């Protein structure tokens, strides 16, 4: 963790970091015990003023609930979208409830995957507004690839009408997951996918694009470097 903090400071060319997240998509709620040393390291740097807030990102409702109880955690970055895609161990309503409890406990919350990895691209306003209206959510992480997307998103987040000429520029998901012929069918990626989008067929991994939210948790675990998101 110390190396990661130093790396982040050098890469960002800053002498402090506003929010440092532990990433824990597939972890169990015991993540805080399992990673106690990492959390302690973050705490030490927070005490020195090098880190302003400590957080955790997660797809798992149980981790949102557990993080709510951990006093060292200032920020929770949960997956939430109106389809419930990517949420592990519960429904949209369960996640909204967990977010509400975390908010009441004084945690800062910002949302991940409000557009479900591009699946809700045709319902931009409804999808963003669904997440914006969840009590406790104060920010939403949004990926954008061009100026038109930025302008549309600014209109939505400022509650302004979107001009027709902007809307007519169809925004498309810019990425897709590919599995190459180098796949050996080991199944490691299947285990790593929180959305159950991967399976093995005829000795090779296959992806269900209807379930894939492009979270990127599968490609680093592939020993054959067979998964690409491009």
Q: Which residues bind ligand SF4 (CB under 6 A)?
A: 177, 179, 183-189, 192-193, 195, 197-198, 205, 207, 212-218, 222, 224, 226-227
Taking the least distance from each CB to ligand SF4, the nearer of 54 and 95 is 95
Task: Please state the closest distance from residue 229 (CB atom) to ligand SF4, in A.
Answer: 6
Task: Please state the closest distance from residue 99 (CB atom) to ligand SF4, in A.
Answer: 21
Q: Counting every residue, how long is the chain?
A: 230
| Rounded CA separation 166/148 (Å) | 7
Task: Please state the closest distance from residue 153 (CB atom) to ligand SF4, in A.
Answer: 22
Task: Please state the closest distance from residue 210 (CB atom) to ligand SF4, in A.
Answer: 11
Q: CA–CA distance from 151 to each of 23, 64, 101, 144 (Å)?
A: 30, 32, 33, 10
User: CA 79, 84, 89, 95 torsion: positive or negative?
Assistant: positive
Taking the least distance from each CB to ligand SF4, the nearer of 109 and 177 is 177
3-state secondary structure of 178: strand
Taking the least distance from each CB to ligand SF4, the nearer of 67 and 193 is 193
β-strands 75-78, 51-58 pairing? parallel
């Amino acid at each position: 963790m110390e190396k990661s903090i130093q790396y982040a400071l050098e890469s960002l060319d800053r002498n402090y970091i506003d929010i440092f997240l532990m990433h824990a998509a597939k972890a169990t709620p015991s993540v805080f015990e399992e990673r106690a040393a990492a959390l302690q390291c973050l705490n030490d740097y927070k005490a020195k003023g090098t880190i302003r807030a400590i957080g955790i990102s997660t797809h798992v409702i149980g981790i949102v609930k557990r993080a709510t109880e951990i006093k060292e955690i200032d920020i929770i970055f949960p997956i939430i979208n109106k389809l419930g895609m990517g949420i592990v161990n519960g429904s949209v309503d369960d996640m909204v409830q967990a977010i509400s409890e975390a908010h009441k406990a004084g945690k800062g919350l910002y949302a991940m995957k409000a557009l479900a990895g591009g699946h809700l691209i045709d319902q931009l306003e409804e999808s963003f507004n669904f997440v914006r209206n969840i009590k406790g959510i104060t920010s939403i992480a949004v990926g954008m690839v061009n100026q038109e997307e930025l302008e549309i998103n600014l209109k939505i987040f400022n509650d302004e009408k979107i001009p027709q000429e902007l809307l007519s520029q169809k925004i498309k998901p810019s990425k897709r997951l590919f599995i190459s012929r180098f796949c050996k069918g080991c199944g490691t990626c299947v285990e790593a996918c929180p959305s159950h989008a991967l399976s093995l067929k005829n000795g090779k991994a296959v992806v269900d694009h209807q379930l894939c939210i492009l979270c990127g948790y599968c490609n680093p675990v592939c020993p054959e470097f067979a998964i690409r998101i491009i």
